[in-house]
Amino acid sequence: MTHILKQSSANVAMDPPFHEAYKTLLAETAAEAKGTSDVVTVEEWDLPVVDLGRLTGGKVEEEEECKNDIIRASKEWGFFQVVNHGISNQLLAKMRAKQIELFKQPFERKSKEDQFSNFSAGSYRWGTPSATSITQLSWSEAFHVSLSDILGSNYGSDDDLRSTMEEYAGKVSRLAQKLAEILGENLGRSSKFFIENCVPSTCYLRMNRYPPCPVQGQIFGLMPHTDSDFLTILHQDQVGGLELVKDGKWIAVKPNPQALIVNIGDLFQVWSNDEYKSVEHRVVTNSRKERYSIAYFLCPWSETVIKSKSEPGVYRRFSFREFRNQVQEDVRKYGYKIGLPRFVL
């Protein structure tokens, strides 16, 4: 068990206290795993790639092809990659560098995020407080930040992190709005819906760090789940670790340095009456390398009513607040999200 409970001195100050908080779960896992290996290798696939340059190229045929590719991937995969997305490599690299600087701060400082970084209290999160088994534990830390904490904030000119986040958040928001508009119009929804309902105070950026984990294959970086929003846009590094369900089996997503990853959330699956797929995904741990990513979540107002595009719908009508509260209650009670099956008619 010594190898499990040992941390490198270089990371002790910055890493959350996983080993202390989950000492019992780690010890039980070590005892059960003695002489066995639960590391399962899954096949690595390329996600569909959509070139968004066709939307602005001036050719109607290419624009329609691009929209159809987005719609097809949302139905068949629930995940796709976009290139020529309008966010420069320079900005992505700077965002990553500033994110790493933030996470390299001592844990004690990060955990006081409202004083240290001026984010709202509760923005910094780590592990899984409700975990009762090793499969429910997420070996990761994150800053889950409302865009209202970022866009138009009053901060000093020397606050490079926040100014970089503001620039990135503005660009990724416009990208999300465009993609959501295309998917919504295909369902016969108003093109104004997302501008009116998914505003900065309702949307989030989540900066993630997945530290090296001593029990690879048994502990997730992020446990299997679907996203509770309309769309998620992800920028990940080249370490890899993102996996999703395709045709009933888990596959690994091959990193593409030129692309952003887009995935459909639960709300779009309801809106589309199951045409678009909100697909289960997870992050697996790495025993040697840390991994970074940043996700943007396109979410509506809490009182926004979500209903299927046609009757009879697969799901009953509900507000986003009701859906989110049910998810949080299930996670507290069971240790994991149940999600859409709760709302099936």
Which residues are catalytic, by number?
Answer: 291
Residue at 132: amino acid letter:
T
For residue 128, which of 120, 119, 137 has the smallest C-alpha distance? 137
* Cα three-residue angle 74-248-78, rounded to 5 degrees: 10
| Residues contacting 231, CB < 8 A, separation 6+ | 176, 179, 180, 183, 262, 263, 264, 265, 268, 297, 298
DSSP secondary structure letter of residue 341: G
DSSP string covering 288-302: S--EEEEEEEE---T
C-alpha torsion angle, residues 258, 51, 230, 178 (rounded to 10): 110
Q: What span, in angstroms and rounded, lies between the C-alpha atoms of 4 and 27?
A: 8
Rg over CA atoms, the chain = 20
| Residues contacting 80, CB < 8 A, separation 6+ | 47, 48, 49, 50, 69, 70, 73, 74, 261, 262, 263
Cis peptide before 312 (omega within 30 of 0): yes
Question: Which region, left, alpha or beta, applies to residue 247 given φ > 0 means left and ψ of -120 to 50 means alpha?
Answer: left
142 CB-contact burial (10 Å; exposed 0-12 / middle 13-18 / buried 19+) = buried
Residue 28 half-sphere exposure toward CB, CA atoms < 13 A: 9
For residue 97, which of 203, 237, 283, 288 has the smallest C-alpha distance? 237
What is the token pair recorded at 147?
């865009």
